[in-house]
Amino acid sequence: MADLKLLEREMRGWRRDLHAHPEFGFEEKRTSAFVVAKLSEFGLDVAEGVGGTGVVGTLRSGNSHRAIALRADMDALRIPEQGALEYRSQNPGVMHACGHDGHTTMLLGAAKLLTEDGGFDGTVRFIFQPAEEWGKGALAMLDDGLMERFPFEEIYGLHNMPGLPVGHFETRAGAIMSAEDNFEIVLKGVGGHAARPHAANEVLVAACALVTNLQTIVSRRLSPADIGVVSVTELITDGTRNALPGLARILGDARSFRPEVSAEIEKQMRVIAEGTALTYNVSAEVTYTREFVPLLNEAALVEEAFAAARTLFEPDHIATAREPMTGSEDFARFLEHVPGCFVFLGNGRDSAPLHNPAYDFNDAGLIHGALFQAAIVRQRLPAG
């Protein structure tokens, strides 16, 4: 049997090493080499360079032809780290502010547990994906033939959750993370002298009206039963102190949990942009893109995840997540191919929020992620 105290100490070392050397999406060269070295040392079959910097480790045991996948993300964010951790980022302007250093470490821990102790019959794929934060890494691996080269029938993933105490476990059936769409609306008029607005056809007043009008999509166009968010995040013009702008760009982000809602947001945005532009006698051009799809957990596998969790966590530390999160997750792309389940593990009540410059993954939670992932494998690929 693996020595869990030793594994915990080792994982803490790996996590802090990864934390000190964060890499942005598709640049995870050192991280991916670190993962390859560990998986090879444990004795797995390792494929590197899958979808850029992605890594797939394969572990087989027994005769079963069944295969399941576990997935971690490896990328960091372009956020300058605050604070004075002894293992703080050595890569200026980049930090592990989403805990992917912890996720990578926990999946390595699960690989070590399963190679040392076995206890399953079948094939396990350990997927280490690049560029989760961009929403591009999972697709890059899928486009590189992930499903054909390393087939599997179901997949599990996890994310740490600030605010949830360490040792607590949550998930839910159906929608758990949202779709993310991005939009850009360009208004064009005629710039001119600030003292002579009647002689120009400036766009800033139109842009302000449009920002306000966009607020009616969620409040007046979507059903109150549907969750939707439309956030304008930037308003940029070519105006200056004494010159009215002739061009304005309005950028933002929309979230939803059903494709029909995403389609409705886009449709209403186009109607409102055109109508507002007409009112102010300027032109509007809308670009609307879909970056992340909604993450939908398979109900039967959620039950399996809860059953695995019950072997590890206190009964009153396991809960059904009350509502879906309006954050987005690249893991959803794998679920367009096979069913799966995504779960949340506590990062502590006092944890800084995700994507905060003071965030740090809580090492006390490492062993839970490793044990949970090993448990789900043994449960879904039972030995003997």
Beta bridge partners of 128: 55, 72
- Residues with Cβ within 8 Å of residue 17, at least 6 apart in sequence: 34, 87
Between 98 and 177, CB nearer to Zn ion? 98
The smaller minimum CB distance to Zn ion, of residues 98 and 166, is found at 98
Least Å distance, CB 328 to Zn ion, is 9
Give how far Cα 183 sits from Cα of 150, 231, 249, Å.
35, 10, 10
**Residue whose CB is less far from Zn ion, 161 or 248:** 161
Chain position whose Cβ is nearest to Zn ion: 98
Smallest separation (angstroms) from Zn ion to the CB of 100: 6
User: What's the token pair of residue 181?
Assistant: 């769409």
Between vectors from CA 337 to CA 155 and to CA 37, what angle results, nearest 5°? Answer: 45
175 or 244: whose CB is closer to Zn ion? 175
**Strand-pair category, 122-129 with 67-73:** parallel
* Backbone conformation region of residue 54, classed left if phi is above 0, alpha if psi is from -120 to 50, else beta: beta
CB of 153 to Zn ion, least distance (A): 25
- In the complex with Zn ion, the residue whose CB is nearer, 98 or 367, is 98
Nearer to Zn ion, 166 or 177 (CB): 177
Contact 116, 375 (CB under 8 A): no
Minimum gap (Å) between residue 132 Cβ and Zn ion: 6
Binding-site ranges for Zn ion (CB under 5 A):
98
Instruction: State in angstroms the smallest separation of the CB of 125 from Zn ion.
Output: 20
Alpha helices in the chain (DSSP H): 4-20, 29-42, 100-117, 137-143, 146-149, 204-214, 216, 259-279, 299-310, 366-380
Closest distance between Zn ion and the C-beta of residue 95, in Å? 11
